[in-house]
Amino acid sequence: MLLEWIREKSFPVKAVWLEKVCHRLSDNPSCDVPSRFDIALLALAWGNIGYAAGLSYLRHVGKRAIHAKGTILECGSGATTLLIAALTLRSGTSFVVFEHNLTWYRYMRDLLDYLGFIHVTLVYAPLIDYADYRWYRIPKTLTDDDISLVVCDGPPGSNPGGRYGLLPTMQHRLTKDCVILLDDTHRSAEQKIIDIWRQYRCMKASRIGRFGTHSELVLC
């Protein structure tokens, strides 16, 4: 309750600041990769920098979002959601986001509405059991089968199976050359997930960022 109260009270100030930053990002007629300055502004406006995605990861996400040819799927919502929303505002790119936490889903829904990002399909997708792991409940209304970019920031590592469920549940919706951006790959759990994913699809994996904090996986 305390966390919800804090978010409610801080929403107006935070939303106004984010609006200014997102306007800078969306006003990008040349479709350039977001500058380090704009990425830093977004991180500052978002707050909680120690927990949010790192600057190099945010910039990498922005680069891939600009060049995405099909639907973009994000697992877990946050600063990256606003970044992608701003960069795809004018392109008409389909952008779907799964969020399992109902309180956070409502907060992000209000924020996206305030910022005018009506093209974003934010889905409340609780975590459910899939045999020996838990992952998002896939909405029946999801018809996208041309997902060319996945930004995989969730579910949290404390979830049974972590982020493993992406490929076994969604692989038939991913394009042949789909790019998966997986955060936190300096952790052994995420490295193990990549090894297991290779059993489902052929992929090329590249660890990026200082100490390999995130990875880019390209399906083949």
Q: How confident is the model at residue 92 (pLDDT cuts 50, 70, 90)?
A: confident
All domains of the chain in start order, with CATH = 2-219 (3.40.50.150)
Distance, in Å, from the CA atom of 72 to the CA atom of 26, rounded to the nearest integer, reads 17
Of all residues in the chain, what percent carry a pLDDT higher than 90? 55
* H/E segment holding residue 206: strand 203-208
pLDDT value of position 55: 85
Query: For residue 209, is pLDDT > 80?
Result: no
What Cα–Cα distance (Å) separates residue 169 from each residue in 115, 134, 163? 31, 11, 11
Q: How confident is the model at residue 5 (pLDDT cuts 50, 70, 90)?
A: very low
Q: Highest mean pLDDT: which of 140-149, 164-173, 201-210?
A: 164-173
pLDDT value of position 91: 86
CB within 8 Å of 205: residues ≥ 6 apart: 194, 215, 216, 217
Q: How many residues does the chain have?
A: 220
User: Phi and psi for 96 in degrees, rounded to 5?
Assistant: -115, 135
Mean pLDDT score of the chain? 87
pLDDT value of position 42: 92
Instruction: Convert the pLDDT of each residue in 25-42 to its tens digit.
Output: 988 755 678 888 999 899
Sign of the CA dihedral with 168 first, then 172, 176, and 177 last:
negative
Strands across the sheet with 71-75, in order?
120-124, 95-99, 71-75, 147-152, 174-183, 214-219, 203-208
Q: Mean per-residue pLDDT for 93-112?
A: 95
pLDDT value of position 3: 45
Parallel, antiparallel, or unpaired for β 147-152 and 120-124? unpaired
